[in-house]
Structure 1
Amino acid sequence: MDNAGLLSRVHLLYLASHNLRLLIDQKIKDNHIGFNGWMLLVCIRNEPQIVTQREIALRMGLKEPSVGELIKQLMKQKLLVRAVNTSDRRKYAIKITDQGVAMYDEIQQALQPLFHTIFPGQMEQFDELLQTILAATKRYTAE
């Protein structure tokens, strides 16, 4: 593949990502949690094994202090709680509350029409491609 073709695809991926973020911002603005707050809820809801602030920061690609501030904001809104981590009492486990689950479900419902525009067969292919891109970019950023 030539460089121009690759850069063109990267640009398309960027535009799609940017537009998706704008759509998500529109859907979550009434909930007052912001895009990163929403992504933190998604991270905790979809990957319950990720429980510490450090694990969340690594998964989201954010600095720990930034994640700490997000956690505090979401705790004030009663969407998250901190509990002592049973495997290491020096750490805190971050858990989503029932209110957080309800908000997550509400926002997911609002986003469903957007994702129904992609046929199920294409969605599987899309997921596979995203996983491939993610794995490749992780490999190169780790070097």
Structure 2
Amino acid sequence: MSQLDQHRFAMQLALLSRSWRAELDRRLSDLGLSQARWLVLLHLARFQEIPTQRELARSVGIEGPTLARLLDGLEAQGLVSRQAVPEDRRAKRVILNAPALPLIERIERISTELREELFSGIDPEELRRCQQVHKQILANLERPKPRKRAPLS
């Protein structure tokens, strides 16, 4: 693959990600939640056990202080609550409150509808191949990076 092809692929992938998220955000705009807040709710709903703030931040891919601000807003809306962890005074567990459940169901339904629209007409084998390519790119990103050595004098 030429460098130009690689560049085009990377730009297209970035545009796809931004556009997909923007469209989903547009469809969810009447929920009164920012993209960051509904994303936190979705991640929180997918945990099997009640996560700590640290676990939730890792899942969402954001820093702890950023998550804390988002949780402040979600807590003010009555959608989540935080509970101290008895064995670790610094840790807090994040709990979904009942009013969040219908919102999450709506987010999931709208998200599923959009996915079905976007994947319409795509051959399942082509999609699997695309997933393999993305998986390899992610593996390449996660591979340990060689350290740069200082030049010898």
Identify the TM-score tier after normalising by the shorter chain. 0.7 to 0.9
Deviation for aligned residue 1:11: 0.9
More helix by share: 1
What is the aligned-residue identity percentage?
22
Q: Deviations over 1:15-68 (max 9, x none)?
A: 111111111111221122211111111211123457122222233332211110
CA distance in 2, matches of 1:49, 1:76: 23
Q: So what's the TM-score if we normalise by structure 2?
A: 0.76
What RMSD, in angstroms, separates the aligned Cα atoms of the two structures?
Answer: 2.9
Aligned residues: 143
Alignment partner of 1:121 is 2:124: yes
Residues 2-81 of structure 1 mapped to structure 2, 5 A cutoff: 2-49=2-49, 51-81=51-81
Identify unmatched segments of 5+ residues in structure 1: none
Write the distance in 2 (CA, Å) between the matches of 1:112 and 1:93: 28
Shift in alpha-carbon separation, 1:37–1:139, aligned structure 2, 3 A: farther
**Aligned amino acid, residue 26 of structure 2:** Q
Amino acid at match of 1:134: L
1:94-113 equivalences in 2 (<5 Å):
94-113=94-113
SS of corresponding position for 2:51:
coil
Is it true that 1:134 corresponds to 2:138 in the alignment?
A: yes
Give the alignment's TM-score, normalised by structure 1.
0.80
Work out whether residues 83 and 92 of structure 1, in 8 Å CA contact, stay in contact via their aligned partners in 2. Answer: yes
Asked whether the 8 Å contact 2:83–2:92 carries over to 1, the reply is yes
